């Protein structure tokens, strides 16, 4: 984390400096960049990685001071802070960032729970939707006539995962490749649903956050206390100890 913060800060300084230079010369970065070598491609990739970090600190920094620090360092001038002072400052900055992120996550979790609870309450009354004792909701889109997997089985499935706003975060259909994984190696909502399904069935699942990723969320796609919606098709049961493959998007169903 300590490395990420100064990296993002440097990126902002570089971006601002380059923008200033371009304004003076009338040139644009798009006209000057040529990604025709490994070095140029690596440089561009590093820039992209830096750019993804800016959101973390842009409201907490003074860009003019960043530019001055960059210029002093690049020109080999005497620095206005000692290495120890900079280290102490960045440690305090990191602590502040963590505290702000914690507050933000708590606010997101509260909002996510309120929206999720309302959605499930409304959805529960819809035609064809059934609710289990755990709170899992499902709707049978297609009945199966095969066997039902046990928790110790491995299954082959097709699925699409989305949020209550309709945003799709994962889909084996889009990859044109079924996903194989152990029944007891995924989120609780999946584990429960799979043991109720028969091979050949296709269900729509409405999974409460507590049966998915709870208040921690998962990656960038799934926020805290998010209700997850899946269309899940049970294709086959494999009587093996471990899965050969798993969903590419680990956020979608795997336990964390």
Confidence of residue 114 (pLDDT cuts 50, 70, 90): very high
Residue 132 shares a structural domain with residue 233: yes
Structure confidence at residue 196 (pLDDT):
98
Per-residue pLDDT reduced to its tens digit, 15-67:
544 444 444 444 444 557 888 899 988 988 887 876 666 666 777 777 788 77
User: Quick one: which of 248, 39, 102 has its CA closest to 161?
Assistant: 248
Final residue before a domain boundary, out of 64, 80, 96: 80
Question: If you search the block for the tokens 């939707």, which residue do you land on?
Answer: 129
Name the residues annotated as catalytic. 159, 169-170, 187, 213, 230
Q: Is residue 232 part of a domain?
A: yes
Q: Is residue 92 part of a domain?
A: no
Count of Cβ atoms closer than 10 Å to residue 187 Cβ: 22
Parent domain of 165: 128-238
Residue 141 and residue 232 in contact, taking contact as beta carbons nearer than 8 Å = no
Per-residue pLDDT reduced to its tens digit, 134-163:
999 999 999 999 999 999 999 999 999 999
Q: Read off the CATH number of the domain in which 185 is found.
A: 3.10.50.40
Residue 147 shares a structural domain with residue 231: yes
Q: CA dist 220 to 4, 56, 90, 119, 174, Å?
A: 17, 13, 25, 22, 19
Token couple for 114: 């309120």
C-alpha of 51 from chain center: 17
Please say if the pLDDT value at position 9 is more than 80: no
Stretch 220-244: mean pLDDT: 85
Residue 224 shares a structural domain with residue 159: yes
Indicate the number of domains in the chain: 2
Percentage of residues in the chain with pLDDT exceeding 70? 78
Distance CA 189, CA 210 (A): 9
Distance CA 164, CA 172 (A): 19
Confidence of residue 240 (pLDDT cuts 50, 70, 90): low
Residue 72 shares a structural domain with residue 136: no
Per-residue pLDDT reduced to its tens digit, 75-102:
999 999 999 999 999 999 889 889 988 9
Question: If you search the block for the tokens 């997997």, which residue do you land on?
Answer: 149
Structure confidence at residue 40 (pLDDT):
87
Structure confidence at residue 139 (pLDDT):
98
Please provide the average confidence, as pLDDT, over all residues in the chain: 84
Q: Is residue 107 part of a domain?
A: no
Residue 137 shares a structural domain with residue 75: no
Which helix (H) or strand (E) segment holds residue 111: the answer is helix 83-124
Distance CA 188, CA 207 (A): 9
Final residue before a domain boundary, out of 80, 97, 114: 80
Residue 64 shares a structural domain with residue 135: no
Q: Is residue 64 part of a domain?
A: yes
Structure confidence at residue 211 (pLDDT):
98
Q: Is residue 256 part of a domain?
A: no
Structure confidence at residue 112 (pLDDT):
94
């Amino acid at each position: 984390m300590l490395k990420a913060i100064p990296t993002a800060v440097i990126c902002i300084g570089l971006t601002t400096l380059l923008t200033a230079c371009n304004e003076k010369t009338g040139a644009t970065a798009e006209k000057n960049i040529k990604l025709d070598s490994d070095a140029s491609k690596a440089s561009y990739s590093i820039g992209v990685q830096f750019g993804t970090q800016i959101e973390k600190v842009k409201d907490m920094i003074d860009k003019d001071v960043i530019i001055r620090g960059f210029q002093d360092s690049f020109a080999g001038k005497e620095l206005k802070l000692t290495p120890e002072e900079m280290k102490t400052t960045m440690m305090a900055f990191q602590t502040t960032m963590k505290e702000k992120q914690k507050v933000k996550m708590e606010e997101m979790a509260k909002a996510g729970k309120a929206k999720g609870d309302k959605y499930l309450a409304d959805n529960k009354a819809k035609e064809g939707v059934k609710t289990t004792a755990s709170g899992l909701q499902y709707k049978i889109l297609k009945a199966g006539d095969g066997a039902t997997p046990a928790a110790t089985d491995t299954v082959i499935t097709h699925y699409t995962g989305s949020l209550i706003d309709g945003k799709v975060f994962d889909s084996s259909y889009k990859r044109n490749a079924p996903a194989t994984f152990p029944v007891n190696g995924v989120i609780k909502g999946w584990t429960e649903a799979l043991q109720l399904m028969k091979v050949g069935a296709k269900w729509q699942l409405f999974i409460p956050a507590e049966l998915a990723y709870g208040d921690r969320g998962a990656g960038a796609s799934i926020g805290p206390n998010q209700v997850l919606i899946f269309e899940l098709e049970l294709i086959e049961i494999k009587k093996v100890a471990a899965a050969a493959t798993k969903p590419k998007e680990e956020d979608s169903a795997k336990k964390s």
